[in-house]
C-alpha cells in the first residue's frame, strides 16, 4: 500500500531533480555561451538595471551552479527514500532489518547502483558548490572570454558533465531497459539518451525561468537565453522522441499493447501529456520568439514556458508510475 504511493513519488522527485541537473550542465555548455554571443544584438530586458554583459552572465553562471547544488541537495533525501521504497518491497518480516539492508546493498546489482548514485550525488554537490563559491572574474576576463563559443568548457563544468552522465546512467541501470533481452547495453544507452535529451530540453528551460527572476533589482537577460535555447531544444526534442519511440516499441512488443495492457495505457497517458508539452513549446517557438523584444511579448513567453515546464512535471509524474508498472507479459 505504502509502496504504491512512495514508489511513484520518489521516482518523480528523482526524475525531476536529475532533469534539472542535466539542464544546468546543458545551459552552461550550449545556452550561456550562445546567449553571451547574442547579448550585443538584443537590448537589455525592460526594467533591467544594467544590461546583459560579461558580468551579468558570470553572475548567472554562479546562480546556475547554485541551482544545481540545491537540486542535488534535494535529491539526497530522495535517494534515501529510494532505499526505503526498495526495503518495503523486499522486506522479510522474519529477519532483522539490518540483514535485509546488507543483502540489498551487497548482494544485489540494484544496491551497487544505489550506492554509486549516492557517491555521484555527493561528488556533484561538491563540484557545484566549488563553482558557486568561485570569486567572480574581474572586469577583464569575464565569462565572455571564458564562455564564448570559441572557448572550451572550463574543467569544473566538464566534471559536472561526468557526474551528470553517471547520474543518468544510475537511473537507466535500474530501469526496464535492464530487462531487455539481447542487446541490454544498447537499451540502457537509449534510455540514458532519452533522459539526457529530456533534461537538456525541459531542465534547461526550467533553469532559464529560474535564472530570469529579478534578484536585488537586477533582471537578467531572458531574451538572449531563450533565443540560444531554441536550437538546443529542437535537437533535444528530436533525440527524445526518437529514443522514446524505440524504447516504447521495445517495451510494448506490439502497438495493440498501448491500450490492452496497463503499461501501455500509462504510456499512452504519458505520450498524450508529452504532446501538450510539445504543443506549448511549438507555440512559444513560432509565436513567442519573434515578440521577445517587447515587455508584453517576454511576459507571455515566460508564462507559456512556465506552463510547458509544469506540464513536463506531470509527464515526469506519469513516468514515475510507468517505470514502476510491469511490462506487458511476454515482451521481455
Ligand atoms: C516531455 C517529454 C518527456 C519527458 C520529460 C520524458 C522523460 C523520461 C524519463 C525521465 C524517463 C526515465 C528514464 C529512466 O528511468 O531511466 C523516461 C522513460 C521513458 N520514456 Fe520518456 N519522456 C518524455 C516523452 C516521451 C515520449 C514522447 C515517449 C514515447 C514516444 C517516451 C517513452 C518513454 C519510455 C518507453 C520510457 C521507459 C520507461 C520504462 O523504463 O519502463 N517518453 N522518460
Q: Which residues are registered as beta bridge partners of 215?
A: 218
> How many structural domains compose the chain?
1
| 319-326: average pLDDT | 95
Q: Which of 244, 249, 278, 320 to mutate to test the pocket of ligand 1 (most atoms within 8 A of CB)?
A: 244
With 80 as the cut, is the pLDDT of residue 193 above it? yes
For residue 12, is it within any domain?
yes
**Residue 66 CA: distances (Å) to CA of 147, 151, 211, 319:** 18, 23, 10, 27
Distance separating alpha carbons of residues 301 and 292, to the nearest angstrom:
8
For residue 332, is it within any domain?
no
pLDDT digits (tens, 9 = 90+) for 280-305: 999 999 998 888 888 888 899 999 99
For residue 251, is it within any domain?
yes
Compute φ and ψ for 190, nearest 5 degrees: -70, -40
Confidence of residue 140 (pLDDT cuts 50, 70, 90): very low
With a 6 Å cutoff on the Cβ, whether 198 touches ligand 1 is yes
pLDDT digits (tens, 9 = 90+) for 202-229: 999 999 999 988 776 666 788 999 999 9
Boundaries of domain holding 59: 2-322
Which residue's CA lies nearest to atom 35 of ligand 1?
248
For residue 91, is it within any domain?
yes
Confidence of residue 187 (pLDDT cuts 50, 70, 90): very high
Give residue 123 CA to ligand 1 midpoint distance, Å. 26
Instruction: Locate 145 and state its grid cell.
Output: 572570454
pLDDT digits (tens, 9 = 90+) for 258-271: 999 999 999 999 99
For residue 114, is it within any domain?
yes
Q: Which residues are registered as beta bridge partners of 189?
A: none
With a 6 Å cutoff on the Cβ, whether 312 touches ligand 1 is yes
Confidence of residue 59 (pLDDT cuts 50, 70, 90): confident
For residue 327, is it within any domain?
no
- pLDDT at res. 58: 75
Give the helix ranges, DSSP H, for the chain. 2-26, 32-38, 54-90, 97-102, 109-133, 142-147, 155-172, 184-198, 204-211, 222-252, 257-260, 262-283, 295-322
User: Looking at per-residue confidence, does 282 or 330 come out higher?
Assistant: 282
On whether the CB atoms of residues 147 and 36 are closer than 8 A, the answer is yes
Share of the chain above pLDDT 90, in %: 64
With 50 as the cut, is the pLDDT of residue 148 above it? no
Give residue 322 CA to ligand 1 midpoint distance, Å. 9
pLDDT digits (tens, 9 = 90+) for 60-109: 899 999 999 999 999 999 999 988 888 877 777 788 888 888 888 888 99
For residue 37, is it within any domain?
yes
- How long a stretch of residues is the chain? 332
Instruction: Locate 186 and state its grid cell.
Output: 544498447
State the Rg of the chain over Cα: 21
With 90 as the cut, is the pLDDT of residue 278 above it? yes
With a 6 Å cutoff on the Cβ, whether 190 touches ligand 1 is no
With 60 as the cut, is the pLDDT of residue 147 above it? no
b/e 97-111 (16+ beta carbons within 10 angstroms → b): eeebeeebeeeeebb
Which residue's CA lies nearest to atom 42 of ligand 1?
244
Give residue 12 CA to ligand 1 midpoint distance, Å. 12
For residue 328, is it within any domain?
no
Instruction: Locate 211 and state its grid cell.
Output: 535564472
Amino acid at each position: 500500500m505504502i509502496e504504491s504511493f512512495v514508489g511513484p513519488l520518489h521516482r518523480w522527485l528523482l526524475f525531476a531533480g536529475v532533469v534539472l541537473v542535466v539542464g544546468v550542465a546543458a545551459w552552461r555548455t550550449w545556452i550561456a555561451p550562445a546567449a553571451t554571443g547574442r547579448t550585443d544584438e538584443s537590448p537589455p530586458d525592460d526594467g533591467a538595471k544594467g544590461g546583459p554583459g560579461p558580468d551579468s552572465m558570470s553572475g548567472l553562471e554562479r546562480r546556475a551552479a547554485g541551482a544545481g547544488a540545491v537540486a542535488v541537495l534535494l535529491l539526497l533525501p530522495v535517494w534515501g527514500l529510494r532505499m526505503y521504497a526498495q526495503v518495503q518491497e523486499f522486506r522479510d518480516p522474519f529477519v532483522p532489518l539490518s540483514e535485509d539492508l546488507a543483502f540489498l546493498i551487497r548482494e544485489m546489482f540494484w544496491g551497487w547502483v544505489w550506492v554509486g548514485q549516492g557517491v555521484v550525488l555527493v561528488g556533484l554537490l561538491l563540484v557545484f558548490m566549488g563553482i558557486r563559491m568561485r570569486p567572480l572574474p574581474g572586469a577583464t576576463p569575464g565569462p565572455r572570454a571564458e564562455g564564448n563559443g570559441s572557448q572550451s568548457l572550463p574543467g569544473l563544468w566538464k566534471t559536472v558533465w561526468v557526474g551528470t552522465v553517471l547520474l543518468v546512467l544510475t537511473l537507466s541501470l535500474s530501469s526496464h531497459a535492464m530487462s531487455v533481452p539481447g542487446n541490454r547495453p544498447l537499451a540502457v544507452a537509449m534510455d540514458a539518451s532519452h533522459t539526457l535529451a529530456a533534461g537538456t530540453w525541459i531542465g534547461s528551460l526550467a533553469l532559464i525561468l529560474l535564472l530570469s527572476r529579478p534578484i536585488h533589482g537586477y533582471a537578467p537577460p531572458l531574451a538572449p537565453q531563450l533565443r540560444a535555447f531554441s536550437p538546443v531544444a529542437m535537437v533535444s526534442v528530436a533525440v527524445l522522441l526518437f529514443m522514446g519511440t524505440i524504447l516504447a516499441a521495445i517495451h510494448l512488443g506490439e502497438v495493440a499493447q498501448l491500450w490492452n495492457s496497463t503499461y501501455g495505457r500509462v504510456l499512452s497517458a504519458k505520450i498524450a501529456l508529452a504532446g501538450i508539452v510539445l504543443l506549448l513549446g511549438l507555440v512559444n517557438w513560432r509565436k513567442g520568439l519573434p515578440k521577445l523584444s517587447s515587455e508584453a511579448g517576454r511576459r507571455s513567453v515566460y508564462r507559456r514556458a512556465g506552463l510547458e515546464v509544469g506540464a513536463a512535471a506531470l509527464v515526469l509524474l506519469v513516468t514515475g508510475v510507468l517505470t514502476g508498472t510491469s511490462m506487458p507479459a511476454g515482451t521481455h
